[in-house]
Structure 1
Amino acid sequence: MNNAFSSGALAGITGGGLPQLTLAEMLEKVTDGPIPLHFTAYDGSTAGDPDSPYGLVLKTPRGANFVATAPGDLGMARAYAFCDLDLVGAHPGDPYEVFKRLQSISMHRPSLRDGAAIIRSLGRDRLRILTPPPQETLPRWRRIAEGLRHSKERDAEVISHHYDVSNAFYERVLGPSMTYTCATYRHADDSLEQAQEDKYRLVFDKLGLEPGMRLLDVGCGWGGMVRYAARRGVRVIGATLSKNQAEWAQKAIAEEGLQDLAEVRHCDYRDVPESGFDRVSSIGLTEHIGVHNYPDYFEFLYSKLRPGGRILNHCITRPGNAGNAKAGAFIDRYIFPDGELTGSGTIIRIMQDTGFNVRHEEDIREHYALTLRDWCRNLVDNWDFCVSEVGEGTARIWGLYMAGSRLGFETNVIQLHQVLAVKPLSDGSADVPLQPWWSW
């Protein structure tokens, strides 16, 4: 839902005869057709379907401030994080069903008279800019103006913002695998743990890893791929900018007795000095680096591979290659600051321009929807612990983000592509079998 009017454009409009509107009437002025849930506001007004089991409750004037002064999902997220906006019929750890109904609401810009009535009814106090929740980072324009985006220092801050929340929180949401990337499901009712194991198997098999090979896993998270490969005799170096992740991963490596084969370093992937790797895996990192940095990124990974080596890039993408790569306001300010998405065609083009021979690509977006379903289920099941660990505001933001992302993958707003490529040998050959050598 987007703001349907600009308060700046209408602020000077005054005149007699303007009605005093309730909050529910304001909502009705900017929506088309029926509202498929019920809306209740602190002024006692209601709108929408009174028989719907799902609804929204705007509880406070502060919540109205946030919704009125920030565009669409950002204002709602601010009100929701502060508990000024509540859900009916859905747990805060999984607001998916409410989201589905919100998605069907069509909004429009009000007439000048209706816009003026809305502003007059809200009053000056409801149009003041308030301090946002503490989970929110600086706006994109400030980061650009201050030169903060995609330096090594800034990338480390961004990763820390998202991943250094609490390992205990992530253990409850992600489950024992501690894997914060899309799983792959043979069947929709597979367990999350089995699906994550199957994802690592799929990546392992696509890369054609064998005992004794050397693997570089960039953006390795808590080391799930690192440990999966090391258990099968592969020598692995993982790199992550999150201190919490690196410490957790190194402990898990030690507990499994994999120290002679596996290592997770707390460092920027650009600071890994070794080269001549047989394989490179990049699972969920490309989203963080900025589209304009893709050429340098893939050139660096190309330089780390031996001739004949393979790379698998696994990342969230858009369904098209044109248009704005920047994340929406809510995702940019609360989840992945500086994150950018583009289409798989752009990624493939840049990999080819770098010198890679692309052998295979596929969209597995439906699998990410299932993964997010299961993460939300874990958050609901462990809600009290998660709130005690990170606070209710952060827990609410996570439920909001994961449920919204699930809907995005289901409806093809976003996708998840795996791209498999080879660094050709000096004679141009790829050193791969004639047919796909992996199975789902």
Structure 2
Amino acid sequence: MAHPLPLRFTAFDGSASGPEDSPYRLHLATERGLTYLLTAPGDLGFGRAYVAGDLELHGVHPGDPYEALKLVQSHLSFRRPTPAEVARIVRSLGLSRLRPVAPPPQEAPSRLRRVVDGVRHSLGRDAEAIHYHYDVSNAFYEMVLGPSMAYTCAVFPTAETSLEDAQAEKFDLVARKLDLKPGQRLLDLGCGWGGMVRHAAREYGVHALGVTLSREQATWAQRAIKEEGLDHLAEVRHMDYRHVEETGFDAISSIGLTEHIGVKNYPAYFAFIEDRLKPQGRLLNHCITRHDNVYRPTGAFLDRYVFPDGELIGSGRIIADVQDAGLEVQHEENLRPHYALTLKHWCQNLVDNWDACVAEVGEGTARVWGLYMAGSRIGFERNDTQLHHVLATKTVDGVSDYPLRPTWRV
């Protein structure tokens, strides 16, 4: 059931509603913004108007609109208008307001229009989806993510832990769960800017290979590897994980890649991993999940502006497909609150570096990141989304080499 709007709403025609003393004000500044809202009800229309600057949110910084979004989502239930409501809108506003206008340039094509780029999760279409999100600007990501350049959930020993320390703890927790030792071989799938690869090489003396579909990430990572003097142990390649031919890895980490490969492709993905591991080798899969195992498409705003073709499902489905690929699941952990904290820090970084970020990528793109990160934080806080670690071994003839009790410390 919808409740009265908890913030002040004003529009270009002088109309207004909501409490005058609200600390937050939503201002519809243009007729184009109204058309966005009417022609794409829900989060897509809101996102279009906000990213274009036609819908202004006052009282919060655009790099972190968390407080206002949280207030609105606590009081409203968004739904599409009924046919009768649409008819009344048409009569009152006129048909001209219902003629779609071009969306902001930051918007990716719809799912149907992406068919021209190939079948969903084909090599070419996946490469384009990754390019869209991750090749925005390395300089922009450096400002938002911080020195770690880790674009995945950190692990906070305490709520007061810094983001950098929490990201280092994340990489080390993965390393401890994989029981990495000097001289071993690690494959990091979807390695991003090479944080796990460099951590494993530097701290554990592991020969680490990372692969990413983002050319910008690979270039940045290879430079960082060279600067740290890790060339003899670490390598990052710009390539699809499906093209990795080497086998016999002692460990494989997948940190934030599963969200991009498609739920229907899980069996093939985990079969690929099983084939690349040596007997008794370990897998650590780290990914965003839903709070249940019911499949539903990603919301329109996230699909068009953030992660084209991204898909989520619950940890139960992931565990089932890991097991069906022939791997033995040894441990599972939900780190949901940690991602809410991570997003809080990223938003603060965006706020602190707002002018430089806008100069680097434009205000529209910066608005996209602020809106999606603040909204995602709310999703993790409310248990709409979670973050799971699944640790598994390639058990052969009943031998897993997994100890009677875990040797890794929390």
Q: Deviations over 1:379-437 (max 9, x none)?
A: 00000000000000000000001000000000011111010000002x21211111122
Unaligned runs of 5+ in 2: none
- Alignment correspondent of 2:52: 82
CA RMSD of aligned residues (A): 1.4
Q: Which digits, 9 at most, give the CA deviation of each residue in 1:234-262, with x for residues without a partner?
A: 00000000000000000000000000000
Are the equivalent residues in 2 in contact too, given 1:32–1:108 (CA < 8 A)?
Answer: no
Q: Which letter does structure 2 place at the counterpart of 1:214?
A: R
- Match runs of 1:124-273 below 5 Å: 124-144=95-115, 147-231=118-202, 232-273=204-245
- Unaligned stretches of 5+ residues in structure 1: 1-30
Q: Structure 1 pair 372/110, CA: closer, same or farther in 2 (3 Å)?
A: closer
> Which residue is 2:12 aligned to?
42
Q: Secondary structure at the match of 2:112?
A: helix
SS, match of residue 389 in structure 2: strand
In structure 1, the residue matched to 2:249 is: 277
TM-score, normalized by length of structure 2?
0.97
Secondary structure of 1:300 counterpart: helix
3-state SS in 2 of match to 1:132: coil
State whether structure 2 residue 272 is matched by structure 1 residue 300.
yes
Q: Is the 8 A contact 2:344 2:377 kept in 1?
A: yes
2:376 maps to which residue?
405
- The yes-or-no answer on 1:436 pairing with 2:409 is no
Residue 202 (structure 1) shift = 0.5
Amino acid at match of 1:407: I
Q: CA deviation at 1:349?
A: 0.3
**Distance (whole Å) between structure 1 residues aligned to residue 354 and residue 181 of structure 2:** 41
Matched, 1:331 2:302: yes
Provide the C-alpha distance between the structure 2 equivalents of 1:363 and 1:378, rounded to a whole number of angstroms. Answer: 25
Give the counterpart of 2:88 among 105, 110, 117.
117
**Aligned-pair CA distance for 1:142:** 2.2
Separation of aligned partners in 1, 2:181 and 2:116: 47
Aligned partners of 1:436, 1:158: CA distance in 2, in Å? 38
Identify if the C-alpha distance between structure 1 residues 111 and 395 changes in structure 2 by more than 3 Å, giving closer, same or farther.
closer
Pair 248,207 (structure 1): closer, same or farther in 2 beyond 3 Å = same
Structure 2 match to 1:371: 342
Partner of 1:58: 28
Question: How has the CA–CA distance of structure 1 residues 202 and 137 changed in structure 2, closer, same or farther, with 3 Å as cutoff?
Answer: same
Paired residues in the alignment total 408
Letter in 1 for 2:30: T
- Closer, same or farther: CA 266–146 of 1 in aligned 2, 3 Å: closer
- 2:43 partner amino acid: D
Q: Which amino acid aligns with 2:97?
A: R
Shift of 1:143: 2.4
Query: Alpha-carbon deviation of 1:362?
Result: 1.1
For residue 33 of structure 1, report the CA deviation from its aligned partner: 2.8
Shift of 1:323: 3.3
- TM-superposed CA distance for 1:153, in Å, is 1.0
In the alignment, residue 252 of structure 2 is paired with which amino acid?
Answer: V
Structure 1 or 2, whichever has the larger Rg, is 1
Specify the alignment match of 2:367 in structure 1. Answer: 396
Deviations 1:152-211 (A, max 9, x none): 111111100000000000000000000000000011121100000000110000010011
Contact 2:118 2:125 in 1 (8 A): no
How much does 1:114 deviate?
Answer: 4.8
Distance 1:143 1:108 in 2: 26
Shift of residue 97, structure 1, vs aligned partner: 0.7
* Counterpart Cα distance in 2 of 1:200 and 1:346: 24
Contact conserved, 2:108 with 2:308, CA < 8 A, in 1? Answer: yes
**1:278·1:310 contact (CA, 8 Å) conserved in 2?**
yes
- State the TM-score, normalized to the length of structure 1: 0.90
